[in-house]
Structure 1
């Protein structure tokens, strides 16, 4: 028989449900995701480090989870909230049930609560810290919740980045140096599929070490936390910009590129997390349905005032910035996730555009 679990938000909202994961107590920022499928990819996305994730779909877990879907070797969410989690699953191949998977990795989860009411609360009051526990809440737990650091001002990339450099792809390919702030496996796959030889480097690698790889382009990956709390990474990106080689920033990487160019970021009320967010490419008028996962955005007014940057993509739900390009340098940032995983493949061409710029760089005379 399943035991009880409890969820308490920092503003006092609380719910009691059943435990469908590991036993224990966790604190983190509570956020929600609206995807209908793809929970194995979502739960293993390093961008969710430090967060308690609410799935808006009423029922998840019916197809278990398998290694080929994982974006990291282990789940990266702090805790899970769902209306119902299936204890049974059905699929071909090797897989494990979702409750078993969560228990294996020590992830507490609560089910049997009104997730619609919870999501409405988060939309109205904003993403906030929460407590998820499988034991009756205590005053000590509540006090820790009140004192728990806000996501704003918190650096987390150092907790999810690779410990040492490694490479993927064929050495004969175009050389891309990727700064790993919490990279998803799908981003590496997209680059390798396009003929890249990718050197994956820890988040705070010095520019000189990146230069030693002799890259023809740079990719700044996705990741968790507040980009403004990463001055060392911003300084590194500023140096990379001076070298004039193609740079693609994705999600957190997009924000770091923006900050390196002098355009500030800010925290969204509840963020964008889902696989059906409409984005418009202002250069072509084309619309994309995109996968998204971010709690920060770049300042649209400051971007449009920047003499060298062009707003290239907007979110059609709230008109926040979804992308920019540089007028003179081969620099591009996209807030959404062109690799998807999960989500539609509409925007895979972002990688085509980046690799085309890298190929052009490869044939130009060295500076």
Structure 2
């Protein structure tokens, strides 16, 4: 296997073996502590502009199941693992990770000390890095390029290009509705794959109360994971997904019962045009629920501030405390920026959740408004399902005017 190198902007060099595409890439290097669910991680649009180091030492042992994908492709610029499993053993497996990386021309590196890399990022903070298989690289030249690299335009890159509808359905699976015209359809995707991948039956249906039946939700796609729309559709809601640059007037003209602002990649302050439209949505009387980047954009649209974290929260084991009840939930998270509550006007919003580990903000409840936003992922793919009931609370807010009704 060909030798590969991971070079950090502080001059640290890791030597390992190339996996995936044989090309060089420069990206922001981040780590994820999830022990399983790498398919969901790699297909999460929030990782656009980043290369992901998985801290769990063995990745790929169950292969890739297309039904578990959160979008129609891999979004990280590169992948970093301690060991890539040579064998994929699972009855749901459609391909190996190596095949997956090759299909989307994603470079990666294995065989490095990922624990050491994680310690460096925790101590020095997230930094840019280069994955290359060029043994004659110039360290000074690459470090210069790393220091000059910035992530930009990633929300535009990951958002859908035109609006589409995901209809609520009474035929449910544990991944949400079977039917619907979503931009990513696992069965169609499988049919397009090269090779003889056996078509598999859908997983058993779950019984779920369709408490959102008949409700219309507008979802602004800032890099939305598939399971956000599916989680609402699985509760009976009809979800219209809009591109990131859709004007507030167009969304409100459709008379939705509620609006969702999705997760997404990058620095929220890069989305100035979107922030202006979010402000207009805030000024309407339509109930709003926002996740991750959407949470940050709503805060910026209402006068609060955000800042970049030292190394962020990325994984499926982050404890968050609901301040109203004192209850602690284990959550799935993926973010490098956070709302600064020191600059939060209590007349506009008040903290609703806090991170138990470091005390950073994890959610806001807006004063006098039917608006509730969270930093973590209640759709949680991959991750714990502790906070999935927030979708039911959003439905309560649309129907009864109260998030906790």
Give the TM interval when normalised to the shorter protein.
over 0.9
Three-state SS of the structure 2 residue aligned to 1:313 is strand
Mapped to 2, the partners of 1:125 and 1:48 lie a distance apart of: 20
Q: What is the CA deviation profile of residues 310-360 of structure 1, one whole-angstrom value per residue up to 9, with x for unaligned ones?
A: 111000010000001012110011000010000110000111111111123
1:255-266 counterparts in 2 under 5 A?
A: 255-266=296-307
Answer whether contact 1:324 1:333 (CA < 8 A) is retained. Answer: yes
The residue number in structure 1 matching 2:184 is: none
TM-score (norm 1): 0.94
1:191-270 counterparts in 2 under 5 A?
A: 191-270=232-311
Q: What is the CA deviation profile of residues 73-106 of structure 1, one whole-angstrom value per residue up to 9, with x for unaligned ones?
A: 1111110111101021101134101111111111
The residue number in structure 2 matching 1:271 is: 312
1:85-124 counterparts in 2 under 5 A?
A: 85-124=84-123
Runs (4+) of structure 1 exceeding 6 A deviation are none
Answer whether contact 1:178 1:221 (CA < 8 A) is retained. Answer: yes
Three-state SS of the structure 2 residue aligned to 1:187 is helix
Answer whether contact 1:199 1:213 (CA < 8 A) is retained. Answer: no
1:1-367 counterparts in 2 under 5 A?
A: 2-136=1-135, 138-139=137-138, 140-149=141-150, 151=151, 154-170=152-168, 173-303=214-344, 305-360=345-400
Q: CA RMSD in A?
A: 1.5
The residue number in structure 2 matching 1:365 is: none
TM-score (norm 2): 0.86
Unaligned runs of 5+ in 2: 170-212
Structure 1 residue 135 displacement after superposition: 2.2
Structure 1 residue 137 displacement after superposition: 5.3
Answer whether contact 2:62 2:93 (CA < 8 A) is retained. Answer: no
Unaligned runs of 5+ in 1: 363-367
Q: What is the CA deviation profile of residues 151-185 of structure 1, one whole-angstrom value per residue up to 9, with x for unaligned ones?
A: 4xx44201110010101014973111111000001
Mapped to 2, the partners of 1:111 and 1:324 lie a distance apart of: 40
Structure 1 residue 306 displacement after superposition: 2.8
Q: What is the CA deviation profile of residues 206-237 of structure 1, one whole-angstrom value per residue up to 9, with x for unaligned ones?
A: 11211232211110000001101111111101
Answer whether contact 1:29 1:52 (CA < 8 A) is retained. Answer: yes
Alignment: residue pair count: 357
**Inter-CA distance 137–67: structure 2 relative to 1 (3 Å threshold):** farther
Q: What is the CA deviation profile of residues 255-281 of structure 1, one whole-angstrom value per residue up to 9, with x for unaligned ones?
A: 001111111000000000010000000
Structure 1 residue 136 displacement after superposition: 2.3
The residue number in structure 1 matching 2:204 is: none
**Inter-CA distance 319–232: structure 2 relative to 1 (3 Å threshold):** same
Q: What is the CA deviation profile of residues 32-72 of structure 1, one whole-angstrom value per residue up to 9, with x for unaligned ones?
A: 00011000000000000010100000111000001100001
Further displaced range: 14-23 or 54-63: 14-23
Answer whether contact 1:126 1:269 (CA < 8 A) is retained. Answer: yes
Answer whether contact 1:54 1:82 (CA < 8 A) is retained. Answer: yes
